[in-house]
Amino acid sequence: MALLTCHFFSDALGVSTAATVVLPQATQTQIGMRGVADDAPPPVLYLLHGLSDDETIWTRRTSVERYAARRGVAVVMPRGGRSFYADEVHGGAYWTHLTVELPAVVASFFRVSTRREDTFVAGLSMGGYGAFKWALRRPERFAAAASLSGALDVAGDAHLWDAEVPQVWGGRPPGPDDDLVALVERADPAALPALFVSCGTQDFLHGANLRWLEAARRRGVDVHADVDGPGDHDWEYWDASIQDVLDWLPLRR
């Protein structure tokens, strides 16, 4: 894999921002790791960070570069601040940046596939929320989406939107376009990408994951769920879970 730190200007945010990117590279003599690549543009996974982290955290806390290498998938890890990947009431237009600007920048900078069947999104905690919000609001973009320990019931957690991130929704509950329960309740199950939910039973967000899954099942949305096993809100769990996600993705390689 090639590992890049990409600094670029965001018109949506009005400031310079950054993304960490890993790109497939076919290798034969690299010790301990063999990369997979061919002549076609590789599939791409947009991988989102959590509330307290940044675009570097997945490569610092997991071996995602090594996991992606043997599967031949590019991984794009953008900077999301504490935005919940929303256009903040008092802050930056992170939803616009993520869903409109970033894919265009990636397509212009890097040789990756832009086909729906080759495009995936995943994230942990706040990033799990962002991944599912993107997939539920723009299902035509993705073949699959995964949430690891995701904040899947933000609207039901008053402490979060009122005290933890008041700048995002102005201290008010998220509206129907930012409420994942409301989004899945009005989704067309046939139009959605494949969905993967993982959350350990010791995780403080476990109840929120169960509530979202209940709403998805009422709607008839098929979800690959791993919510019955042990695990906390930590990197030991996410390092293992991202490997499960990569094994589950419908990669053409």
Question: Mind listing the pLDDT tens digit for each residue in 157-170?
Answer: 888 888 899 999 99
Assess contact for 131 and 147: CB atoms under 8 A.
yes
Q: What percent of the chain has pLDDT over 70?
A: 100
The stretch 140-164 carries a mean pLDDT of 93
Model confidence band, residue 33 (pLDDT cutoffs 50, 70, 90) = confident
**Chain-wide mean pLDDT for the chain?**
95
The stretch 68-92 carries a mean pLDDT of 97
> Whole-angstrom Cα distance, residue 113 to residue 41?
5
pLDDT of residue 253: 58
pLDDT of residue 29: 79
Assess contact for 184 and 223: CB atoms under 8 A.
no
pLDDT digits (tens, 9 = 90+) for 196-217: 999 999 999 999 999 999 999 9
Region of poorest pLDDT, from 3-12, 116-125, 162-171, 214-223: 162-171
pLDDT of residue 228: 97
Model confidence band, residue 116 (pLDDT cutoffs 50, 70, 90) = very high
The stretch 234-253 carries a mean pLDDT of 94
The stretch 175-187 carries a mean pLDDT of 97
Assess contact for 50 and 125: CB atoms under 8 A.
yes
